[in-house]
Chain A
Amino acid sequence: MTWALAILLGIIAIAAAIWAFLATRSQFSSMLVRIIYSSAVISAGAAVLAIVASVAGAPANDQNACQLAHVIAMTRHQPLYPDPTSGVLSAWTDGPLAAVLLAPSAIGAMPTTQIILGICLNLLVALVPTFLLLWQLAGLGHRAIVWPCLAMMLWWMTGQPSLNSVVFLIGADGLAIGLIVASIAFIMGPRDALRITCSAACLALACWTKLSVFPLVCIPLIYLAIVEDPSKAGLFAILFLGLFCAAASILIPIFGFKNMWFQIITLPLAQPWTDVNGQQVHGIERISAFGGSLLSFVHEARIPLAVLAAVCVLGQLLAIKSERSTLKTWLSANAWIMLPTSAIALVPGSLLAFLKMGRNPASFGLCGFLIAITAIAIAIRMYCKADIATDKQSSQLAIASICILLIWDSIGVLFTTSGVPALIGIIQNASANRQETALAFARQNPGQVYFPWNTLSSLLAEGQLYHSTDALRLRSWTGSTVVPTVAQITDHLPRNIRWIAIDASHSNEPLLRIFPRATARIGLPGLEGFAVYTEPGVGAPP
């Protein structure tokens, strides 16, 4: 079935390629450009397949299960932000809006379905505004370039860990980026009161999705103050504040101010800085660690940055003429400038998050995504300017260069065994994952097994949310003020705990320190692929 769909997708891609070749006869005078453009359509098809495989593979990521468990628990009347001293330890350190958005995924009955639904929602809210922004940027008559650009964005999302985490990791990043992009898109066109209101609303909601988005508030304010007049910037500020407070008046009573503050502010702030070896750093060592994180950021965003540099150089050297203008008129015509400035504004927060939250490249997700959109936006603008100036050579070179990058990206997927067959394999085996195994076992042995990496499965089987590994790590790394008590830990573990089942590929040493008597490692039928720890003498279930 999956192969049949893949073949169908292949046939559609080839048909689309032929159509693109024929349809671009009037648009591109060069036969070579038409061939490259139509080949890129096949690459775009491969990108779609890679995206589908990434969605299907998301349930295999235990982190998705742990994060979604908080959301599903919320739909079952358990608090998203539990009491810091007596509640279950939570790893949800983002705003409440993302949890609200992901709540519809609770309609799935199995962990795989729920995670896939959550990822699809994430993907939609991140990609739809991005697509609309690029569509708007290209303008009527120049949209041939939007498709290869969007396909390139898809490739980056599947290949770059930081971009991948924005859409394929359950959390707040997907919604936050969608709202940020939507906020910028609204003030790219005519900046009337309605559009400014929508932009302010999106940004206010983005702040309630992820707190680190706050520095972005100044971007549209400054932009509007320069491009329009201070009154419109003032309007934006008032609207933003009003809408932010309105959202707060609804969200704070629902989620509880004290607990929310603890999870969103206290807990992340209390995390220690770590260096490249995972060691905690203090004092002057922090400068070197900060420099290292900056290197890691550039390394992580190197491909979009390289494309950005290439596009800028191409634009400069092709000398695509545009009328000389003042800063105000230039900014007015190039509202996309808010994208890179937003990325820059987010850099310090991303670096801090990287240093404090386990040096996870996901911390660079928002910045990386904005840099990637910037690179694409500049390519689109360059193409449009050349097209408008009837500089056909430059416009064709711009679009064909993007297509070549796209083809280069897809060669590995289209032609190797780790490509299409592997992707098909992932799609076919979407439901064969540890979450499902854990669910089946937990249903047969309720209250006896603890899955610290698969809390969603335990929640679905027993209705109880237990501590996740991430939450334990977050709380154990912090200072003495937020370290949980023994009673708090034991209160949210299975009542008759006999086994601790973990994926052996994870680093489990800190986790196992909580269970000093669980020294025997055994294999249990029904828990294949898990390392099961228990007290010596405790065997398999009858």
Chain B
Amino acid sequence: MGILLTCLFVIIPLAAAPFVFKRTEGHFVERGLVALSLVGAGLAVWVVAYTISIATVDDWSGAKMAPIVAMVRGSPSNYALYQDPSEGVMTGWIYGPVPAILLLPAAIFSTPTNIMLSANVMNLLWVLLPVLWFHIQAGRGWDGKNKTRWAVALLGGCAFLWICLPAESMTRSLFMAGADGPAMGLAALSCALIAQGRRTIHLILAATCAVLAVWSKQSMLPFLIVAPMYLYFIEGLRVALKYLAILFAAIVGISVPLILIFGGANMWFHMVTLPSSHPWSGEKEIGRALVLLRAFGELLTACGESISVLLFITLVFYLLSDGDERSTETSWSQWIARNPWSMLIAAAVISVPGGLLGYVKIGGFVNNLGLTKFFLTLAATLWATQLIVQPRSTRAASLLRSGLCLLILTESALPVFWEGKMQELTAYIAHVRDNRAEISYIFAKNHPGIAYFPWDPLPSLLAEGKLYHFEWGVSDRVLSGSLTLAQLRKHLPDQLVILAYPTSAQSRYILQNLPSVRDLGPDPQLPGFTVYGEQHPVEPQNQLPPARGGAGR
């Protein structure tokens, strides 16, 4: 496997490098960097394959997919995505229904690893395809009148990928199936459509994508005002109002069917009531103001690289542009019109409050900070692509092209020069099926109806057709004060004998509700799990202990 990957992603790009060097114009150093960055692109694919594979090890991967797959794979009947708040299964799905629809094709597979892998790949494609299309537009100079410079567009896209790959805030969103990826991709698509043109068809498609982005993740709601603002600045009030009218129609046209299909009350409970009932993490200790300040610091840190790249491009733009070029843009509106990526800066700023709110709540994780980083990074790589394609000075274009190449090479060198890292990445890819989900799937298939995996609802669903409570879904209900023991009992295996928690489980809340179980020690059939249980079926206790904070969403 290692040899194959080395050939595909290192040797072949290296072999192609001399041809690229020969065909590239510019300074010797610049041509060398462009040629070498092919290896960086190859390594990006290798690292992406690893990141997608390793995501299957994360409990949240399967937990997020379980309610989606249950829509079509339940037995004897399928499960609704948004379960009844008082009687239904407690899942971890507190997002909009759009990602569930977009990731649903993964349900055609029958094993947990295949489902998670295909969902992760789809999730990535939902983000990367719009990003790539955006770069292609930038590579042809936005208006479509020039010939597309594919190489520059791909260079920008590769730089985007390499800025995202080392950041956990982005890997969680891009490479792990969930609501963030589709939300980001749809938002980027909406901006790209407006950048491409302002005809009615563009406005309709852009508004549709924006509404779908909001129906993917609630924190995208403020994003709706980005396009009207941009249109107001560059086209005037009339076009902005026209867009608003289209947007309103899109909201109605998309929301009504979704509400009818998924059930308004249940959807409201999961998308609004549950998230709003989550307390803030650390609120009691330091107060809300400090929690927010701390989260803002984390956001700035997460976005540090993107901000630095943007600053550098700004510097190159202002210092190395020709004076004549600069003077042709007399007003802000003209400048914004010529630089449609600036929409993304507005989107980044506007997504800050939602991202911070998602991050500070108990259960919130760094992926919530990823929205801002995503928009800033995209803005940076698009601007660089634009400046390379429409050079304001030869020096600026050379510098930016080399800068992007250097960034790709520096980031891609990290795993290469980390002794043993590439072997580790390859081992994960080769043994992608060696994960807890597969172990619990085989166990549940061999012993249906007796084992419960609170952190792994997907294997039980695939093996038995039953969707059981997800650990964090139960925790969500306790935080919101809406959990009843009757509901807890209702969706546990009929003859519960074994309760298996991953050894490194974030929490064991359900275990606290089953006081009669005891630690049975390691089970050779369930490696990586701590097994609890007793010979006769276990019953929940009568009082509920309080839930504690954690992270994952």
Q: Using CB atoms and an 8 Å cutoff, list the residues of chain A in contact with chain B.
A: 30, 32-33, 36, 276, 292-293, 295-296, 298-299, 302, 306, 309-310, 312-314, 316-319, 393, 396-397, 400-401, 404-405, 407-408, 411-412, 414-417, 419
Contact = CB atoms under 8 A, between A and B. Distances in A.
B417 A302 contact: yes
A400 B294 contact: no
Given A302-B410, A317-B398, A415-B300, A295 B417 contact: yes
A299 B419 contact: yes
B29 A316 contact: yes
A419 B413 CA distance: 27
A295 B421 CA distance: 11
B298 interface: yes
A313 B406 contact: yes
Interface string B397-428: 01100110010011001101111100000000
B318 A299 contact: no
A424 to B, nearest CB: 15
Nearest to A307: B410
A401 B417 contact: no
Contacts of B197: none
A36 B315 CA distance: 10
B418 A299 contact: yes
Contact of B301 (A30, A401, A416): A416
B318 A32 contact: yes
Contacts of A292: 419-420
Contact of A317 (B304, B318, B395, B409): B395
Given A310-B406, A313-B33, A416-B298, 13 more contacts: A276-B420, A295-B419, A309-B409, A309-B410, A313-B29, A318-B395, A393-B320, A396-B319, A397-B319, A404-B308, A404-B312, A407-B311, A415-B297
B395 A419 contact: no
A135 B398 CA distance: 31
B2 to A, nearest CB: 14
Nearest to B321: A393
Contact of B29 (A293, A306, A317): A317
Contacts of A414: 297
Give the interface SS of chain B, mostly helix, strand, loop or mixed: helix
Contacts of B319: 30, 33, 393, 396-397, 400
B418 A416 contact: no
A401 B416 CA distance: 26
Interface of B: 27-30, 33, 294, 296-298, 300-301, 304-305, 307-308, 311-312, 314-316, 318-320, 395, 398-399, 402-403, 406, 409-410, 413-414, 416-420
B205 to A, nearest CB: 36
A261 B459 CA distance: 65
Give the interface SS of chain A, mostly helix, strand, loop or mixed: helix
B419 A415 contact: no
Given A313-B402, A397-B316, A400-B315, A416 B297 contact: yes
Given A318-B399, A393-B319, A408 B29 contact: no
A391 B502 CA distance: 62
Contacts of B417: 295-296, 298-299, 302
A489 B398 CA distance: 65
A433 to B, nearest CB: 26
Contacts of A299: 414, 417-419
Contact of A32 (B307, B314, B413, B418): B314
A408 B304 contact: yes
A412 B413 CA distance: 22
Contacts of B308: 404-405, 407-408
B458 to A, nearest CB: 34
Nearest to A400: B315
Contacts of B399: 314, 317-318
Contacts of B410: 302, 306, 309
B414 A404 contact: no
A296 B421 CA distance: 11
A411 B315 contact: no
A459 B297 CA distance: 44
A404 B311 contact: yes
A10 to B, nearest CB: 15
A295 B420 CA distance: 9
Interface centre among B27, B30, B417 (most CB of A within 10 A): B417
B297 A317 contact: no
B414 A302 contact: yes
B32 to A, nearest CB: 9
Contact of A397 (B315, B398, B419, B420): B315
A481 to B, nearest CB: 31
22 contacts: A36-B311, A276-B419, A276-B420, A293-B419, A295-B417, A299-B417, A299-B418, A299-B419, A306-B413, A312-B29, A313-B33, A313-B406, A316-B29, A396-B319, A404-B315, A408-B307, A411-B300, A411-B301, A411-B307, A412-B301, A415-B298, A416-B297
A318 to B, nearest CB: 6
A29 to B, nearest CB: 9
A299 B422 CA distance: 13
Nearest 8 pairs of A and B residues by beta carbon: A415-B297, A299-B417, A408-B308, A411-B304, A298-B417, A306-B410, A316-B29, A415-B300
A36 B316 CA distance: 13
A317 B315 contact: no
Nearest to A409: B304
Contacts of B28: 316
Nearest to B299: A415
Nearest to B314: A32
Contacts of A314: 399
B297 A419 contact: yes
Nearest to A410: B304
